[in-house]
C-alpha cells in the first residue's frame, strides 16, 4: 500500500494555496448568498472516494450546490450520519455515489492491510465487507484483466452502497415518491470502458443495475444514455 512521496517546492505550494484562497473570495457569489439568507441549499449529496483524481467539481460547481462526503472507497457506513443529514435534512433531490477506476482503497481492501493503523484497518474492513457482499450478488465473473477486474469491483461496491442506502425506510420512501434519485456512477479515469478517459457512466439508478432498463428512464433525460457497466 506504500506510495512514493511527491517532491514539492513548499514556496510554490504556499503561493498556489494563497492564490486559491484569494480566487475563492474574488469569485464568491455574495449576492446570491445574501438572497438565500446566507444558508445552504445543496441539490446534490455526493459520496465520492477521497482520491484526488475524483474531485467533487466533476459534477459542476460546488458552492452551495453539492453536499460532499468523501472517504476512501466511497463507503456509506464510514460517513453515514453526514449522508443522512444531506438526504433527510437538507433534502437534496439527487444522491450520487461515485466509484472510479483504479481505486486504491479497493485494491488495498483486497490485499493484506493488517500492518496498517487501527483506524485505517477499520475503514478498509468496511470496504472489504462491501466487496464481499457485492461479489456474492454478482451474476457473472470477474475479468482476468487487472484494470477491468478492479473497475468491476468498484461497480459492485457502488451497488452495495445504494442497496444499503435503500435499506433505510426514510430513504426508500423518498425514492418511491420521486423526491430523491440515487445515482450510482463510475468515473472512468483510465478508459477501461473504452469510451474515453475521464468519462462518467451511470451504473445504478435507485438500485436498478441493468443498463438497458436505465436507458429507458425518460425522467433522467440525457443522463440515461450514460448507462453502462462492465459487470
Q: Please choose, out of 32-40, 47-55, 161-169, 200-208, the segment that lies near Zn ion by the rule CB under 5 A.
A: 47-55
Full 3-state SS string of 179-216: CCEEEEEEEECCCCCCCCCCEEEEEEECCECCHHHHHC
In the bound state with Zn ion, the residue whose beta carbon lies nearer, of 32 and 125, is: 125
Residue 165 as a binder of Zn ion (CB under 5 A): the answer is no
C-alpha cell at 63: 458552492
Is 108 a binding residue for Zn ion by CB under 5 A? The answer is no
By beta-carbon proximity to Zn ion, the closer residue of 49 and 180 is 49
Angle at the Cα of 198 from the Cα atoms of 59 and 90, rounded to 5 degrees: 20
DSSP 227: B
User: 103 vs 153, which CB is nearer to Zn ion?
Assistant: 103
Cα atoms in the 13 Å half-sphere on the side-chain side of 32? 8
Considering the rule CB under 5 A, would residue 47 count as an interface residue with Zn ion? Answer: no
Binding Zn ion (rule: CB under 5 A), the pick from 44, 76, 96, 103 is: 103
Site for Zn ion contains 123 (CB under 5 A) = no
Size of site (CB under 5 A) for Zn ion: 4
Q: Which is nearer to Zn ion, 49 or 214 (CB)?
A: 49
Residue 186 CB, nearest distance to Zn ion (Å)? 11
Contact yes or no for 66/93 (Cβ under 8 A): no
Sign of CA dihedral 6, 12, 13, 19: negative
Question: Would you count residue 51 as binding Zn ion (CB under 5 A)?
Answer: yes
Q: Which residues bind Zn ion (CB under 5 A)?
A: 49, 51, 103, 105
Amino acid at each position: 500500500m506504500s506510495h512514493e512521496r511527491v517532491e514539492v517546492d513548499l514556496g510554490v505550494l504556499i503561493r498556489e494555496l494563497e492564490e486559491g484562497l484569494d480566487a475563492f473570495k474574488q469569485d464568491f457569489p455574495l449576492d446570491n448568498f445574501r438572497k438565500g439568507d446566507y444558508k445552504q441549499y445543496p441539490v446534490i449529496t455526493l459520496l465520492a472516494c477521497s482520491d484526488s483524481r475524483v474531485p467533487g467539481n466533476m459534477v459542476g460547481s460546488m458552492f452551495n450546490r453539492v453536499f460532499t462526503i468523501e472517504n476512501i472507497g466511497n463507503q456509506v457506513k464510514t460517513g453515514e450520519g453526514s449522508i443522512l443529514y444531506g438526504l433527510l435534512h437538507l433534502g437534496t433531490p439527487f444522491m450520487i455515489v461515485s466509484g472510479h477506476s483504479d481505486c486504491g482503497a479497493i485494491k488495498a481492501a483486497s490485499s493484506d492491510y493488517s500492518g496498517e493503523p487501527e483506524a485505517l484497518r477499520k475503514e478498509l474492513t468496511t470496504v472489504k465487507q462491501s466487496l464481499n457482499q457485492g461479489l456474492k450478488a454478482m451474476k457473472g465473473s470477474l475479468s482476468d484483466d487487472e484494470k477491468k477486474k478492479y473497475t468491476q469491483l468498484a461497480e459492485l461496491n457502488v451497488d452495495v452502497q445504494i442497496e444499503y442506502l435503500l435499506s433505510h425506510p426514510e430513504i426508500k420512501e423518498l425514492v418511491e415518491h420521486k423526491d430523491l434519485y440515487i445515482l450510482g456512477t463510475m468515473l472512468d479515469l483510465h478508459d477501461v470502458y473504452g469510451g474515453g478517459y475521464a468519462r462518467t457512466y451511470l451504473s445504478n439508478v435507485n438500485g436498478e443495475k441493468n443498463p438497458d432498463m436505465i436507458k429507458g428512464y425518460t425522467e433522467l433525460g440525457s443522463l440515461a444514455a450514460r448507462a453502462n457497466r462492465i459487470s
